[in-house]
Structure 1
Amino acid sequence: MVFKQTDQPRNNKENTGGTASQEAERILGRNLDDTLSAIRQSLGNSPDVIVRPVQIGAVPGVRVAVIYIEGLSSKLYVNRFLSQSLGEDNPDSNDNDRIFETILAKASSTLGNLKVLNDWDGMIHSLLSGHIVILMDGRSGAVIADIRDGEWRSISEPTTELTVRGPKDSFIESIDTNIALVRRRLKNPNLRLETMTIGNESKTDVAIMYINGVTNDRLVSEVKQRLSAIEVDAIQGSGYLEELIRDQTFTPFPTIFNTERPDMAVGNMLEGRIALIVDGTPFTLIMPTTFSQFLKTTEDYYQRFYFAVFLRFVRYFSFFVLLLLPSSYIAVTTFHHEMIPTSLIINLLAQREGIPFPAYFEAMLMEISFEIMREAGIRMPRAVGQAVSIVGAIVLGTAAVEAGVVTAMMVIIVSLTGIASFAIPGLPLNNAVRVIRFPMMILASTFGFYGIMMGMIFLVAHMTSLKSFGVPYLYPFSPFDPWRQKDTFWRSPIKTSRTRPDLKEKAGESPDVPEGERHES
């Protein structure tokens, strides 16, 4: 999918097929026929562009046209405006100014949320966004009314961030609905909402939400600057923005958090973070991000703190199991037999009789097979995908052991690794660790535990060097802050949590990357 802007300049006349009036290309002229002709040609004479002409005022009257795109605008409001407003008694005179003021007053009472535009591109963008355009012959400018409509997915339970106790609503693909879900939970006059349009072709709406006085002003400025520097043709999801505004591109670790839960977004905003809501996607971006965020869930705050601490211990333990268990098994069975109890090493050696492959090849074969089944289970129809992946794993593991291709212990190791991956709530971090464990297996098969230690040193050094909009990625583990450990591995009781994380002072600092890489698009 190509979405970068080409280097060659675009010819507006070639894209629109020419216009009937040169004045109507950029400024809405006073001739209604020329303006309507220019609109039709700009949109390729598309049949879903509806033009409703109306004549008001004294005979011969003043012509008015209502333009909208079928399927994007509400026909109910259009018909109500035509029948109850333009169809009512209007001034008998042909004074354009008086008739125009009357139209504005009636449209305001019927439709609301009006604005007058004299910009051609702005009018076309409003029309393509689902607004209706009201034009009057002999009067420059267009009246824009927001009556957007269309078929949207209803608010349902989250699909990737499930919870037992907590709200069951999630973001959807409508940016207006997502903003309302945030405002419903955060009735704060300091809640700020700023919008911009990104994408030369897609014109995707992006909303920036934060709490004034809580969020660092430098962070807000930095986010706006990175968004303004984006020059692409299309933004079809929040994943596009995530790659374009992140601090470092070449790292497997996610430095921007994403969520489909409104309560998760509000909780992060209360901690001084910014939420980016992208039209057309249910996943909202949260920034800045730290490593510990990907091992938390909203359910941690809806139940007793001691049980939340226990679950976080399970998640951190699962993180290290996913990262180190296969490589540790390879290192022990290949180089460090003395670390295995005698009875266990005898059983392992008995299992390896007749196995033609070394432990490293066994692990790689089983891990890749598990990843294939996992991907197949996701891509298959939901009714059979889960069943096929589970049955396939059981059949494949049993058949591999009976055929003498792998040992039973290797099947156990790979199964534990796969189960541990599902215990990590942050899917981007989960994907990163799933990739990193393969180089760790290569190091273990080459150098044993020495290779694992070297890999861990390199990994920690890399994570320490990462920043997310000025905030160290491993904060508050590195740099270590004992007073900010209340909501990382440990979750303090709510009564004792009286201060926010120390992000306001750290966020917004310029990351140590070149300007060109920071805004690379």
Structure 2
Amino acid sequence: MPKKYIGKQQKGAILTGSISDQINKIQKDLGKSDDFIYKKLQCLQLWSAAVIYIDGLVDPHLLQNSLLQSLLHKTDAAHFEPTSDRLEYLQLNILTTTHSNVFCSYDELYERLLSGNAILFLEGERKGLWIDVAGLKERSIGEPQSHMVVRGPMEGFSENIRTNIALLRKRIQDPRLWLETQKIGKVTHTSIAIVYIKEIVNEEVLAELRERLDRIDIDAILEGEYIEELIQDKTRTPFPTVFNSERPDTIAAGLLEGRVAIIVDGTPFVLLIPALFVQFLQAPDDYYQRADISSLIRMLRYLAFFIALLAPALYIALSTFHVEMLPTNLIINLAAQREGVPFPAFFEALMMELTYEILREAGVRIPKTIGQAVSIVGTLVIGQAAVAAGIISAAMVIIVSITAISSYVIPENGLSRAVRILRFCFMFLASSFGVFGIWLGLMAILLHLTTLKSFGVDYMSPFGPYVASDMKDSIFRMPWKRMYTRPIYSEADEGNDRIRLRRRYNLFSGRRKP
């Protein structure tokens, strides 16, 4: 089903011109819902009219003061020329609201009515006038909840698409910040905004995004993840290929690098494409402190990534197949701890990891009033009771604890979830083939990552293909004086070296065809 762009005339049944017939049809289509309100009046004491709206979606003060009082104001009939369009006359000379327009179809009527606008009918007119008096109560701008702020702006996106767009325009006050709005969802008609900076964005990425959005055929879009799953390059991968954030400064920085933002009405998480692997290990705080400190912290994240991925698997492999690689004293201590444990290292690690995942999932949904008590119980069960009962060894508790803490160091939840899934695969490989199995798993993941693309851009760039100019913000963050070029997937002026680099590596050769 083709999407509906705001302001575009829609095809469908044409208004009849009779106020009573139109109100009866709307009541019938809405199932005689109690929140449908209509008020008949004498517009300017000259013409029979009616104002309709949905209770709860409009601002009552704006409706009363800006609309109804203006329409009920008495005017001299001599000021109105018989040849003039009555609705156009009201729009230009009477109404004090800033947004209004004429329509003539029921399709656009329902689109505007259910978006919080009031509709004005005049007797005998086969068209109507929508007036923007939307006033649905919404959450105010607050601090991001999932992306904690150490240093930087404390503002986070809200569920309102217009508020989110305003937060971006507040940070990028440039006329080249362009916006395309459309509706997706045959039932929900959810507003989607594509935001980019003209002359910086890569037009091939933008064209590919438009094409994928046009192919979406679904009843409802209730959150940005719907769009993320429907437009991603490859679904059979645990790694995220679309970045999301609820921090306006993060999205603004991505736009300045030539990326495209996708804002979905009803969610505070804004999508950003294309997404690279290195992007998921970067945090906004890296750019709000000195380059040397940021580089050390970023290296710590890479270390935590491998610990969260491989720590249980390495423990299983070393304690099962490669005991000779451990110091003698450590071997004796591990043997003494595992003397009363009835399970092999693999089942021991599997039980601990599953228990931790259950506690982690419960902690997300448990009421805050009892969350602390459950956390204490979980800690006692894992840390003391299980060891005292001889079910697990103390060394395994240490390994699982380090693994759990390291997984929280990863800034982006999508990559953290991928690590949690792959951790179990590595544990199975380690229990079957030892360190050799871990090495095979790493090679398989590396090959898989090099085949991934995000809207035609290689997922492992700038590592593969290697782009020296983009290494300045990968593992290390160079000082600002040396970060003077954008990534090669962004648009560039003729003659710039980035154009030659892009043609050399042909980053868009693997773009998915429709």
Residue number in structure 2 paired with 1:509: 508
Residue number in structure 1 paired with 2:5: none
How far apart in 2 are the matches of 1:107 and 1:378? 53
Kindly state the Cα deviation for residue 477 of structure 1 after the two structures are TM-superposed: 1.0
How far apart in 1 are the matches of 2:371 and 2:408? 16
1:365 equivalent in alignment to 2:319: no
How far apart in 1 are the matches of 2:317 and 2:232? 36
How far apart in 2 are the matches of 1:132 and 1:57? 17
Residues 106 and 313 from structure 1, CA distance in 2 versus in 1: closer, same or farther, beyond 3 angstroms?
same
Residue number in structure 2 paired with 1:13: none
Kindly state the Cα deviation for residue 415 of structure 1 after the two structures are TM-superposed: 0.4
Paired residue type of 2:444 = F
What is the DSSP-based 3-state SS (H/G/I as helix, E as strand, rest coil) of the residue aligned with 1:475?
coil
Residues 238 and 83 from structure 1, CA distance in 2 versus in 1: closer, same or farther, beyond 3 angstroms?
closer
Residue number in structure 1 paired with 2:365: 379
Kindly state the Cα deviation for residue 352 of structure 1 after the two structures are TM-superposed: 1.2
Residues 508 and 455 from structure 1, CA distance in 2 versus in 1: closer, same or farther, beyond 3 angstroms?
closer
Paired residue type of 1:79 = Q
Within the candidate set 101, 116, 131, 2:88 is matched to 101
Kindly state the Cα deviation for residue 41 of structure 1 after the two structures are TM-superposed: 1.2
How far apart in 1 are the matches of 2:17 and 2:218? 34
Kindly state the Cα deviation for residue 203 of structure 1 after the two structures are TM-superposed: 0.5
Contact 2:257/2:486, CA 8 A, preserved across alignment = yes
1:79 equivalent in alignment to 2:78: no
Paired residue type of 1:309 = S
Residue number in structure 1 paired with 2:279: 293
Residue number in structure 2 paired with 1:252: 238
1:120 equivalent in alignment to 2:106: yes
Q: 1:329-340 to 2 correspondence within 5 Å?
A: 329-340=315-326
Residues 336 and 319 from structure 1, CA distance in 2 versus in 1: closer, same or farther, beyond 3 angstroms?
same
Which consecutive unaligned segments of at least 5 residues does structure 1 have?
6-23, 516-521
Aligned residue-pair number = 490
Q: 1:77-476 to 2 correspondence within 5 Å?
A: 77-92=62-77, 95=82, 97=84, 99-108=86-95, 110-386=96-372, 388-476=374-462
1:203-242 deviation per Cα after TM superposition (whole angstroms, max 9, x unaligned): 1000110000000111111111111110000000000000
TM-score by length of 1: 0.91
What is the DSSP-based 3-state SS (H/G/I as helix, E as strand, rest coil) of the residue aligned with 1:392?
helix
Which consecutive unaligned segments of at least 5 residues does structure 2 have?
2-10, 491-498
1:51 equivalent in alignment to 2:38: yes
Residue number in structure 1 paired with 2:50: 65
What is the DSSP-based 3-state SS (H/G/I as helix, E as strand, rest coil) of the residue aligned with 1:139?
coil
Contact 1:81/1:107, CA 8 A, preserved across alignment = no
1:444-465 deviation per Cα after TM superposition (whole angstroms, max 9, x unaligned): 0000011111111111100110
Residue number in structure 2 paired with 1:19: none
Kindly state the Cα deviation for residue 89 of structure 1 after the two structures are TM-superposed: 2.1
How many percent of aligned residue pairs carry the same amino acid? 45
Paired residue type of 1:125 = E
Residue number in structure 2 paired with 1:519: none
Paired residue type of 2:32 = N
Paired residue type of 2:178 = R
Paired residue type of 1:80 = N
Residues 331 and 57 from structure 1, CA distance in 2 versus in 1: closer, same or farther, beyond 3 angstroms?
closer
Paired residue type of 1:38 = K
What is the DSSP-based 3-state SS (H/G/I as helix, E as strand, rest coil) of the residue aligned with 2:127?
strand
Contact 2:44/2:71, CA 8 A, preserved across alignment = no
What is the DSSP-based 3-state SS (H/G/I as helix, E as strand, rest coil) of the residue aligned with 2:37?
strand
Contact 1:56/1:90, CA 8 A, preserved across alignment = no
Residues 217 and 512 from structure 1, CA distance in 2 versus in 1: closer, same or farther, beyond 3 angstroms?
closer
Residues 107 and 225 from structure 1, CA distance in 2 versus in 1: closer, same or farther, beyond 3 angstroms?
farther
Paired residue type of 2:310 = L
What is the DSSP-based 3-state SS (H/G/I as helix, E as strand, rest coil) of the residue aligned with 1:133?
strand
Residues 458 and 218 from structure 1, CA distance in 2 versus in 1: closer, same or farther, beyond 3 angstroms?
same
Kindly state the Cα deviation for residue 386 of structure 1 after the two structures are TM-superposed: 4.8
